[in-house]
Chains A and B, each alone.
Chain A
Amino acid sequence: MDVGIVGYGAYVPRHRIKVEEIAKVWGADAPTYKKGLMLGEKSVPSPDQDVITMSVEAARHALTRSGIDANKIGAIYIGSESHPYAVKPSGTIVADAIGATPNIHCADMEFACKAGTEGMFVAMSLVKAGEMDYALGIGADTSQGAPGDALEYSAAAGAAAFIMGKEKVLAVCEHTHAHMTDTPDFWRREYQHYPRHAGRFTGEPAYFDHVVPCGRGLLEKSGTTPKDFQWAVFHQPNGKFPMRAGKKLGFSTEQMKQGWLAPILGNTYSGSSPMGLSAVLDVAKPGDRIFMVSYGSGSGSDGFIFRVTDEIAKVQKAAPQTREQLEDNPIYIDYGTYAKYRGKIRMLED
């Protein structure tokens, strides 16, 4: 049975801040971030946007592309590390807003930046197991970096939603793979506003030692080589890491650039590789194969191989495309506005 993506959609907030604007405030060297980490600008959510609002918009785009009734969706899993409530699911609000309640399984997912792909994996597995006809997996985040911290240059906002099913599949999931160990490279304790990270440790033992072995495992398991793929997407904590990981696995810039959004989007955490995948689906052709590996601190990677079907052409333009949302009408803001929008200014309390 062919199970995979039957509808997909992404959402990008309109506000952006440039790396230079952040560097100026902290006396940092903008070229270090621009050239060193390949980051140019990042998306910023409005004060009235969060994981729930972005997930609703992305899910609505996915529904439009799928052409199915929302009440046929049997499960919803939103992966995020910035769920608006500490206790109370995001999924209930999103499911109610898209008209998918009340007969639907739901729990929010959390695994740093990997929660979105885990949600996609569980959604797909439930369909494969025959438990339901459709299931929705979403990756969304509005993550924050501490003021002046390296993460402040990359922590962005966005969402991508995928409806998994077995009829009129746009992209069949042919193989999956996982690689996970306990590696404390990035964390946030309860009641802390900002996360902490282990500096350079986040690169080699963390990101690369999960993304690359997960990718290798996926190639081995599927009996494929990088040449068998038109597209490759990796988790994008910055612009540099995914390119390096991809090259180590044998993928070319050409295969990676369509899904490589970090230089103009930043790191959307749980939304990162899922949004990259949505940008690839926007342009992929029937028969194309897509290689995808996510990464979440803590640490783990999920790998997927998708084969695009004839159904894709009918839906690519049915909802706003990912790069179109990124490139059309951004509103650039200064650091003061950004600090206000992101709640970084201490206000008088009621």
Chain B
Amino acid sequence: MIGSPRSWREKPQRYRYEAGKCSGCSKIFFPPRLVCDACGSKTFETQVLAQTGVVETFTIIEVAPSGFTDEAPYAVGIIKLDDGVKVTAQIADCKPEELKLGDKVRLEFRKVTEDGASGILHYGYKFVLA
């Protein structure tokens, strides 16, 4: 259960892939954060992530947590985007046994989970093979 408030708060990153770029040292954070861990700066500008990248590492989820059971088995990977930012997300629409390190992927807008049968639908990003 994620609930409406959190879902709403995270819209910039989950809907529009907006990262925070540190005004002090240019390090990019996704999801955005309040203080830069490299230089301590508290000012950030919005930067939209590159929409394509490569699979750096991945794992196959065979036993899925509730809310994701109808999609198992599915892949979750760390993707290195073309702008150097690393993002962890599900890799959708692929046969897990066919997925390889270095595969090219792109971001796609998907439903991430639902708060049960009557709650909010949560949307965001997943990767698909490019």
Contacts and interface: CB of A to CB of B under 8 A. Distances in A.
A308 B77 CA distance: 43
B109 A53 contact: yes
Interface in A51-74: 52-53, 56-57, 60
A349 B118 CA distance: 12
A93 interface: yes
Residue of B15, B66, B92 with most chain A CB atoms under a 10 A cut-off: B15
A211 B11 CA distance: 42
A340 B70 CA distance: 7
Contacts, number: 54
Interface stretch (A29-37, A42-50, A172-180, A298-306): A42-50
A15 interface: yes
Contacts of B95: 331
A48 B112 contact: yes
Contact of B109 (A47, A57, A331): A57
A14 B92 CA distance: 10
B126 interface: yes
Contacts of A84: 111, 121
B5 interface: no
A93 B110 contact: no
B65 interface: no
A218 to B, nearest CB: 35
Contacts of B126: 48
A99 B46 CA distance: 13
A350 interface: yes
Contacts of B45: none
10 shortest interchain CB distances as A-B pairs: A56-B109, A97-B15, A48-B110, A48-B111, A53-B109, A14-B93, A47-B70, A53-B110, A96-B15, A47-B71
27 contacts: A14-B93, A15-B93, A46-B71, A46-B92, A46-B93, A46-B110, A47-B70, A48-B92, A48-B111, A48-B126, A50-B111, A52-B111, A52-B123, A53-B108, A53-B109, A53-B110, A56-B109, A57-B108, A57-B109, A60-B109, A84-B121, A96-B15, A97-B16, A331-B93, A331-B95, A349-B117, A350-B116
Interface of A: 14-15, 46-50, 52-53, 56-57, 60, 84-85, 93, 96-97, 99, 329, 331, 340-341, 349-350
